[in-house]
Structure 1
């Protein structure tokens, strides 16, 4: 029996070596450095040859759980990074897009009031006065309050001299205040010509106004018509 003991020991050693080799040959290989898993983050415990099969199975299960957890974390980070990139793209598009400004132009139609004409009379003469003479034929009472918002008045007179000698003049005179308005008109023509004065304004209140005439050489002067134009 003792003679066979070395042979039996050799057989057990061979069988143990084969079992040890088969166990480590069937152990799952670790991920390569270029894969999605990092060997720096997962520590693989070193087991001895005398570890039981149950202990080795528990170790493998723990390693598998860590790998699954790491894979899930990596996937979540990839999803978050993708969402952030998309959000940055949208924000950049909004910043670079030029805003559209809609300008609404409201057109207001202003209705200008038509001019008003105040007749002073027609016909008259001849007058040959060399100084200003107030004609009783051309007289009117005016109050600018009756024309609210007016911008000015213009004296329009059609008149002539009997002959082309000297200068004939006409103006509107305020007999109430004894003052002349800035409305003097002059002519040297022997034919009727319509003359328009510069724009003027009347003092407040109701006043009496008359046409005054004069002729520098005493030549006769004739008036065909006269009126006041009120502009707004």
Structure 2
């Protein structure tokens, strides 16, 4: 990734910082959350900068260390009472505006495509429509929490659609990476996510985006029952 312009990595680094700050704010400035996410980022930085992922032989399960811990964390939050308390205390307006960071993510993915580090299908010129989530987030925030004119049903629908968009492109990203699971993009595979700081996309940003949607949906459904 030596040929990649510095502005790509810097923009992505700023995006991660903004995402962590916004989610930290949504937690009510929970120091426990901040400590966990900082340790996780440092751990992924050490692993990726050491070549742990790029040096892995074909078929190695090493990249599972990026995906499985966040997945298990989300499952634990929804399966335990302590997790429920954490989710129900999250600030839904902040969780909504949080999704604006997806605009920057899509810009970075496009730059990575231009430098042959990800396939076109991972950009808004391909199969990635996730930029719509980022573009609509400020609009939804305004009408739902400033004007208070957006219905609960519309909010649920927006969260479900945007959740589907991020899961769809995450699966496409996995299936275009150079692993035994690869199904497409053989001419230009998804290699960027093996390197720092872009490993933080599947390790941090995607899990936080998914968690933000799921927590919002949980709160909306709880309010509907009451």
Name the TM-score class by shorter chain. under 0.3
Q: Which of 1 and 2 has greater Rg?
A: 1
Q: TM-score, normalised by structure 2?
A: 0.21
Q: TM-score, normalised by structure 1?
A: 0.20
Q: Which has the higher contact order (CA 8 A, sep 6+)?
A: 2
Of Structure 1 and Structure 2, the greater strand share is in 1
